[in-house]
Amino acid sequence: MFVRFVDRDGNKPIARADAHEFNTGGVLNYMHIQTSEQNFTINMTPNNLVTMYNPIPGTFISEELHEKLETDAGVSYPSPDQAYAQGQLAEFQNFVECVVSRKEGKIIEPKMNIDIAVDLVNVIYTGYISAFEESGKELVIER
């Protein structure tokens, strides 16, 4: 998926982001963001905390090195702690802190909220519409 961000008038590019999930050799969840002043590459899955090369198929057959990886041979990116590396622990921690704080009479707002969730679903859905119904045509997402 490729997303281009422009100014409110729709004239000046502010940033661009490209991301995809499925790729030959397994799942690749990454995002590359370019602005006029910065460059970001976010490796969500696989993150490159660990890079492994295994020339002998079947050596790690009983281990889940990476989600949807068909073989343990070749280069892979095993996660020493998949829940941590993919942010799941931080999500659970934030949820529990919000619940506990409300029981104590305080209010901590969750880091994720409905506005972020709606924006995320809107971007992903627009990407699917572009890919499957519009032959990859650039679509504008209205806010």
Q: Where are the domains of the chain?
A: 87-135
Alpha-carbon gap, residue 143 to 135, rounded angstroms: 23
Distance CA 73, CA 55 (A): 5
Reported in sequence order, the residue ranges of 2-116 that DSSP labels E, i.e. its strands, are 2-6, 13-23, 26-35, 39-45, 52-54, 74-76
User: Could you state, in chain order, the average pLDDT of each consecutive group of 10 residues for the chain (143 residues)?
Assistant: 74 70 66 76 72 88 76 81 75 90 89 86 86 84 75
What is the reported pLDDT for 81? 75
Instruction: Report pLDDT for 102.
Output: 87
- In 3D space, the residue among 19, 22, 49, 46 whose CA is nearest the CA of residue 32 turns out to be 19
Query: What is the enclosing helix (H) or strand (E) of 82?
Result: helix 82-85
